[in-house]
Structure formats: structure tokens, C-alpha cells
Chains A and B, each alone.
Chain A
Amino acid sequence: MKKENIKLLAVTVAIFVTGLVMVYYVMENPTDSMVERMLSRENIWRAFREHLVIVGVSMAGALAVGIPGGILLSRPRFYYIGKVFENIVNIGQTVPSLAILALFYTILGLGFNTAVFAIWLYSILPILRNTFAGITSISDEVIESARGMGMTGRRILTRIELPLAAPIITAGIRTAIVINVGTATLATFIGAGGLGDLIVTGLSIRRNMIIITGAGLSALLAILLDFWIGQIKLRLVKW
């Protein structure tokens, strides 16, 4: 097996094992009956699953909108809109994620859909901005020589622009995923569940073990997804 594949496998297994050991430990050694009820297998799994769904759906949506959107804005005729948008995104990102959730709660009400929608919107920003920036930062002469040799617009996009922008696009996706997993822990405040449930319950009944379980699992999830995207980038970008 290649060295880079061994690394991918080893780190992935290590993260999974850490998570499982943690869950097993807290289930076997609850400090009292309240902790035991909160940290039952069903309860941890439900929180984790809800968390995964929020992250998965919002990330998939963010990729589906962010990358094509960034490509579209990078076309010459939309370039100026893209520039304006880039600035709006930069301002948008300074709004705290909790504020975004609260804002959409006032508009859309409580629930899973509101959380997914808000987090989706928030995750689009870095992906879209980086796709736009990555493509527009390619030097003119590279595109011009491709055009001069008779490559079609579509071929230039797939063979030249996207590969050359890949490092910046994947950096945007990494930013998005870390923000996304973190923000998903706040979804509990608008009743959308997730690992935030454990953290908030733990805080309100003052049981550190519950807090650490929720925080630890979401941290491990963020680390794992971030690592995976880093690995994808390594395999895509060879120059």
C-alpha cells in the first residue's frame, strides 16, 4: 500500500477508536444515574446522528451551490458582481454563527429545517468565495494560451481552471466544514437536536462528563472531516 494511503487509514482508524473508547468509557462509568440516563447508547447515538444529518445536508447543499456559484461569478460577464459579492461575503462572515441562527429562528421558527437552512447559508460563503477567488487568480496568460490552442470553454474549465483553483477551493471547503460542525452544536438552541443537546443539558445539570462527551464527539467529527478533505486535496493537487 502507498504511504499516503497508510496515513489516511491510520489517522481515520485512530479518530474512530478514540471516539468509541470515549463513548464506551462514559457509558460504563457514569458518575450518577442522571448521567447514566443521559449517556445511554440510544441517546448518544441519536444526538450524533442528528448532528451528522445537519452537517451532511447543509454541507452537501453548500457544495452544490457554492462551487457552481463561484464558477458562474468568475465568468467575465459576472466578474464585477463576483467582486462585490466577495466583499459582502467577507462582511457576512464576521456575523457570529449564533446570531445567524437566532436571526433565522425569528423568521422561520424553531426546528431542524431552520437550523439546516441557516447553517447551509453560512457554509456557502467560504466555498463560494474561494471558488471565485481561486479561478480569478489564475494568470491571464495561462487562460489565453489555452484559448489560443483551441480548447473550448468547458474544457478550459475542467482541465485548467478547476485543477488550478483546487488548492484554494479545498481550503474554502475545510473552513466551511469546521465552521459547520461547530455551528451545528448550537442547533440545539432552536430545537434541532444534535450533539449540542448533550452539551446544553450537561451545562444545565452541571455534569461535566456529559458536556465533555458532546464536545469531544463534535470535535472529533470536525477533525476527521477536515483531515479527509486535506487528503482529497493531496491527491488532487500534485504540483
Chain B
Amino acid sequence: MIKIENLTKHFPGLDRPAVNKLSLEINEGEVCVLVGPSGCGKTTTMKMINRLHEPDEGEVYLNGKRASEMNQIDLRRGIGYVIQEIGLFPHMTIKENIATVPRELGWDRERINKRVRELLDLMGLDPEIYSDRRPAALSGGQRQRVGVARALAADPPVMLMDEPFAAVDPITRARLQNEFLRILDKMDKTIIFVTHDINEAIKMGDKIAVLREGELVQHSTPEELLDAPANEFVAQLVGRNRSIKRLHLIRVEDIIEEDADKYSVAAESGRKEIKDKLSESKVGALMVTDEQGCLLGRVDEQSLKKEGETAGELVDEIHDQVTADSTLNDSLSVMLESGEGYVPVVDEEKGFFRDIITLQDLLQEVRQG
């Protein structure tokens, strides 16, 4: 899909090339993460793909066609670009910002409106509230999401994303990453994703390309990167606790056993049923669910001392849960934050309770790795 061959770029006044003889191949539908320290040439590489920079040497091929021979404007319209500095247009509303490429392509108004709403929903921004605001009235993280929505607008087959989630807090970032991976599952896009967070690289990438001073150091799957770092530089980048890093690679849904019944009671269950099930539960608590199977809260020995007959009356609130598409690392963070040795897992789309995941489960995964 994208083939980079021997790409080199010199900037005047720099003693070494910003990008040096870089070759990479990215298959269709693949997420390739460029990772490396600041100034290693990640942004420069991206800009040579959509020809914001012309390479001094080498060539970029898109579907076998030379980028240098394609019409610059058409080339760029077919590539979604999330610029590192976000670069929203301050004089336009959020809606107009997102509509940029569709408008350049001449879509009709109705189609544009529909698409904008769809994308705002996707990014977790209420269209009613945000459509007509200007970028100045958004937080940094919200702007970044608008930047991603704008790049997705015309549904380009290729996306270049330069640190798209850098300005959001860790929890929102994890959510956006998960949502984005889910969107990707459905869309089958070829993506080049830049980050200098190795954890993000491991989580997002099908392949990871490690750059250093403009040169490619290693190009491999996240697993290979963890198992066999090419040299000391990569090993340092990946860090010592590699088995813990592996937690970024595994999704909750891959290890849970769908034991929803074992760990939950319906809201109308009586004390007897709760007691019986509690004695079976390895975490000393049960999740309470409504008719749809959605989480209402939890009950444990303490709750049984309260007044009330059914689980629905005895229930205590819980604040922490993870979606089934989260990584094990996400659930570890939630456990550490809540101070509990387990966290309930809910379905990311329907919201029903699926299972619980415990610290033991995580430890087991780490040991296996």
C-alpha cells in the first residue's frame, strides 16, 4: 500500500540529514507506528508522504504509484492528515473545520452535515454543543479530537497521524485509543501513526518502526520489539520491565472467561441467593445487574448488614469498570487507582456485564510472557 524507498531529506543548516535513507513498507489496513526521540525525523517522514516536503532522494509509492508523479492536490485529499500542532482554523466553527476536505471535494450540504454529526459523535463530542463553537472555545484535548475528526472527514484510505493524542489526559487517551482501534477494525485504513510514547506504540501498532537520528533502527511487530530488540537503543526505549509492557498488547476480552453468571446477581435476587453466590466468589463481592444485564453496583458481606431484602436494595455504587476492548494495562491502572484487586468488565457497545478481571489474572499473564 505505502512503500517508502531510500527516502532522504536534508534541511539547510543541519549537519546531518533529518531523514536518512529510510525504507519502509506498510501493508494495506496496517497501523505502522513511527516512534523515536524528539527530532529523529518522524514528522519529516510523514510530510514527505503527502509532499509537504519534497524528498532530496528516494521515492514514496502509494498503491504502486510514485507520489512524486501524482497531482499534489489529489494526493493530499486522499490522505487524512492530523498535524502535530493540530492547526484548526480559528475563524471557522468546529463544523466548518471538519467539513474542510468534503467541501473541497464538492459534497452537497446535506451529506456534509450528516458526516460532521457522525464524526463528532464518534469522537465523543456532542454535536448540539460543539458544532457551532470555534476552536478557541474548546479544551486542548477536544481540539485534538476535532483534528482527528477533520482528517477522517472524507474517509481517506490512508491516514497520517502526528501525535494525535498527545494533549489529552491518560484516561481520556486510553479511551480514545480504544475507540480509535475499534473504529479502525471497521474501516480498514492504512495508518502511519507517530508517537514518542513507546506504550502507545505497542498498543496501537501492528508494526512499529523505531527511528533514531533519521535512520530506521528496527521495523517489526510489537511482540518482536519486546522479545528481540535490535540493539541497545531499542532495548532502552522499550525499557526494562518488558513483561509488564506486554500488558499493553493483550485485550481484556482475550483472557476473560465470560463468567458473568458466577460473579453477578440480578437486582431482584434475595439474601439467600446473594449469600450462596458470595461464598463462591473469589473476590468476595458480586456485581448487581438489571434486566438488561447492565451493572448497577456491587454487594458484599458489608452490604448484607444493611436493611433490605433484594440485591437491588442492598447494592453499593461502583465507579470503576473497564470495557472489554481495553488492554490489560488499562485494567491494571484502574485497579491501582480504585485499590481493589479486581475490576468488572463491561461490553464496549451494549454495556452489559461480561466478567470480572483480577490482579491474579494479570500476574498470570505477566508470568507467562
Please state if B86 and A141 are interface contacts (CB–CB under 8 Å): yes
Q: A239 an interface residue at 8 Å Cβ cutoff?
A: yes
Q: B73 an interface residue at 8 Å Cβ cutoff?
A: yes
Q: A157 an interface residue at 8 Å Cβ cutoff?
A: no
Mark the stretch among B8-16, B75-83, B298-306, B361-369 that contacts chain A: B75-83
Distance in angstroms from B96 CB to nearest chain A CB is 9
Q: A146 an interface residue at 8 Å Cβ cutoff?
A: yes
Q: A141-B85, A239-B136 are in contact. Are A149 and B90 (CB under 8 A)?
A: no
Chain B residue at smallest Cβ distance from A148: B81
How many of chain A's residues touch chain B, expressed as a range? 10 to 19
Please state if A160 and B89 are interface contacts (CB–CB under 8 Å): yes
Interface centre among A144, A149, A152, A237, by most B CB within 10 Å? A149
Residue interface bits A162-178, CB-to-B below 8 A is 1, else 0: 01100000000000000
Question: How many residue pairs between the two chains, A and B, have CB atoms under 8 Å in the bound complex?
Answer: 65
How many of chain B's residues touch chain A, expressed as a range? 20 to 34
Contact residue among A141, A149, A152 (Cβ-Cβ distance under 8 Å from B101): A149
Distance in angstroms from B85 CB to nearest chain A CB is 4
Please state if A152 and B52 are interface contacts (CB–CB under 8 Å): no
Chain A residue at smallest Cβ distance from B153: A149
Q: How far is the CA of A155 from the CA of B76 in the complex (A)?
A: 14
Please state if A151 and B100 are interface contacts (CB–CB under 8 Å): yes
Helix, strand, loop or mixed for chain A's interface?
helix
Q: How far is the CA of A169 from the CA of B34 in the complex (A)?
A: 42
Please state if B90 and A141 are interface contacts (CB–CB under 8 Å): no
Distance in angstroms from A130 CB to nearest chain B CB is 17
Q: A7 an interface residue at 8 Å Cβ cutoff?
A: no
Distance in angstroms from B318 CB to nearest chain A CB is 42
Listed in ascending order, the chain A residues whose CB lies under 8 Å from chain B are 141-142, 144-152, 155, 160, 163-164, 237-239
- Given contacts A150-B73, A150-B74, A151-B104, list 9 more A-B pairs with CB under 8 A: A142-B88, A144-B85, A144-B87, A145-B86, A145-B89, A145-B147, A150-B104, A164-B90, A237-B91
**Can you identify 16 A-B contacts, CB atoms within 8 angstroms?**
A142-B89, A142-B90, A144-B87, A145-B83, A145-B87, A146-B100, A147-B76, A148-B47, A148-B52, A148-B81, A150-B72, A150-B76, A160-B89, A239-B90, A239-B91, A239-B134
